[in-house]
Amino acid sequence: MKVVCILSGGMDSTTAMYQMHNRGHKVTALTFDYGQRHAKEIGCARAVCRQLDVPHTVVNLSGITKLLGGSALTADVEVPEGHYAEENMRATVVPNRNMIMLGVAAANAIAIKADAVMFAAHAGDHAVYPDCRLEFVHAVETAINVGNYEHIAVIAPFIHYSKTQIVQIGLEEGVPYHLTWSCYKGEDVACGRCGTCTERLEAFHLAGIEDPIEYQDREYWKTVIK
């Protein structure tokens, strides 16, 4: 199978791509620059693709940033701290982001005669991000396949997996987690306090190993777990 992977440079999409690649599928990667403040993840995506020798394109979507409104990921809005599933994390929602990225990925999949597009939504995303839920995966796959001559599958391998289970899979697959980036704040060192940092630190803890990247605050997550 030939798969166009949406690779953010974070741990979920990197793990999904490693697993797909390690099983012998032909993988290419797209990383979207939509003006996110944590653009550091783009460099991480590049490093990961170099490791696997996977063709990689950074897709410049900066032309849409100003259309997206006031998400904490793209505008001058403070990144919330705390647990990933908290109500205040809705400030990090970028409207319709996954349809835009999957829409472009599907167009590219058709152009290069690939069979599928993949994105790494996981169970922990469901609470806050409606476009990371199974219903959305089905709906967008239907829309892609009604709207084109070619059949393109939409694969979301971690839709029923927790972040901890993703770490466990990644360790088996040899994922270089030291090359991945999750923090929403986009500073030089991960903050340890935003939703994605606390979720990541908890996941590594529950998987029984230490997260290999550096944090400004490696203990804060323990105060917000449920």
Q: Is 55 in the site for a copy of itself (CB under 8 A)?
A: no
- Within 131-190, the residues that bind a copy of itself by CB under 8 A are 131, 133, 135-136, 139-140, 142-144, 146-150
In the complex, minimum distance from the CB of residue 112 to a copy of itself, in angstroms, rounded to a whole number: 7
- Contact between 31 and 7 under an 8 Å Cβ cutoff? The reply is yes
Cβ proximity to a copy of itself: between 130 and 212 the closer is: 130
* Helix or strand holding residue 87 (H, E): none
Q: Is 39 in the site for a copy of itself (CB under 8 A)?
A: no
Report in angstroms the alpha-carbon separations of 82 from 150, 197, 199.
43, 9, 9
Which of the ranges 15-23, 37-45, 91-99, 208-216 carries the binding residues for a copy of itself, by CB under 8 A?
91-99
Q: Is 67 in the site for a copy of itself (CB under 8 A)?
A: yes
- Contact between 89 and 124 under an 8 Å Cβ cutoff? The reply is no
Find where tokens 């998987």 sit: 207
Supply φ then ψ for residue 98, to 5 degrees.
Answer: -70, -30
Among 47, 52, 100, 153, binds a copy of itself (CB under 8 A): 100
Strands (DSSP E) found in 77-135 = 116-118
Cβ proximity to a copy of itself: between 133 and 218 the closer is: 133
Cβ proximity to a copy of itself: between 150 and 172 the closer is: 150
How far, in Å, CA of 107 to CA of 182, rounded? Answer: 27
Which of the ranges 12-20, 65-73, 158-166, 172-180 carries the binding residues for a copy of itself, by CB under 8 A?
65-73
